[in-house]
């Protein structure tokens, strides 16, 4: 009887190992999917944050060329009695913000053209919603946008979400979209 038991043990161990390996692979695959979803969610949230702060960024960049020239003036540096590192940090921040605003402007233009060429009224409405809510000089509320388009307020938020998904793909490239198998 002892011999039969020892012959069964390696086979049982192999089965247990195979099941454990299968479960580990399933867990790793689910974890990978969860992390990818988090990454996409972050990009969508980042797109919304960029839009939300777009007007502030534009204001920050209005006179950036003149400000950068002032920051490069050696006499100003002497008058300020400040370290060069702080000035360089401010200059880099302004330059990066300007570059980001220009990039966002280009992607918004691409998105507008895509919406216009789609021939679908809901696509054009989505662009107009984003524009009125975040881009135009006169900010509109969701209620005002809904009233202007004759839609429900919830549709305004759905339009924003759908527009942000497309804009995320434009802004972040392939990393901004969900790959479907």
159 inside domain: yes
User: pLDDT value at position 117?
Assistant: 96
26 inside domain: no
For residues 21 and 157, the answer to whether their CB atoms sit within 8 Å is no
Q: How many domains would you assign to the chain?
A: 1
DSSP for 61-74, written as a single string: HTTHHHHHHHHT-H
For residues 97 and 60, the answer to whether their CB atoms sit within 8 Å is yes
* Tens of pLDDT, residues 107-123: 999 999 999 999 999 99
When pLDDT is averaged across residues 155-171 and rounded to a whole number, the result is 93
162 inside domain: yes
Cα separation of 42 and 29, whole Å? 20
1 inside domain: no
41 inside domain: no
34 inside domain: no
Which residue would you say has higher pLDDT here, 163 or 73? 163
**C-alpha distances out from residue 95 to 52, 62, 65, 74, 180, Å:** 20, 12, 9, 19, 37
User: pLDDT value at position 108?
Assistant: 96
Cα separation of 53 and 62, whole Å? 14
Checking if the pLDDT of 129 tops 90, the result is yes
* Tens of pLDDT, residues 22-57: 888 888 888 888 777 666 667 778 899 999 999 988
Q: Tell if the pTM clears 0.85, that is, is over it.
A: no
151 inside domain: yes
36 inside domain: no
Cα separation of 87 and 143, whole Å? 43
Question: What range does the domain containing 87 cover?
Answer: 47-176
User: pLDDT value at position 18?
Assistant: 83
């Amino acid at each position: 009887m002892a011999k039969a038991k020892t012959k069964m043990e390696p086979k049982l161990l192999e089965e247990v190992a195979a099941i454990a390996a299968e479960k580990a692979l399933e867990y790793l695959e689910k974890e990978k999917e969860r992390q990818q979803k988090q990454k996409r969610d972050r990009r969508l949230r980042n797109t919304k944050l960029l839009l939300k702060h777009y007007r502030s960024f534009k204001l920050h960049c209005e006179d950036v060329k003149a400000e950068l020239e002032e920051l490069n003036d050696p006499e100003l540096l002497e008058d300020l009695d400040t370290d060069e590192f702080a000035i360089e940090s401010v200059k880099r921040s302004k330059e990066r913000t300007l570059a980001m605003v220009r990039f966002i402007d280009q992607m918004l233009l691409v998105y507008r053209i895509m919406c216009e060429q789609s021939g679908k009224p809901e696509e054009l409405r989505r662009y107009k919603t984003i524009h009125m809510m975040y881009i135009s000089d006169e900010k509109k509320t969701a209620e005002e946008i809904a009233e202007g388009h004759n839609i429900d307020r919830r549709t305004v938020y759905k339009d924003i979400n759908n527009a942000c998904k497309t804009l995320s793909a434009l802004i972040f490239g392939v990393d901004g979209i969900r790959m479907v198998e």
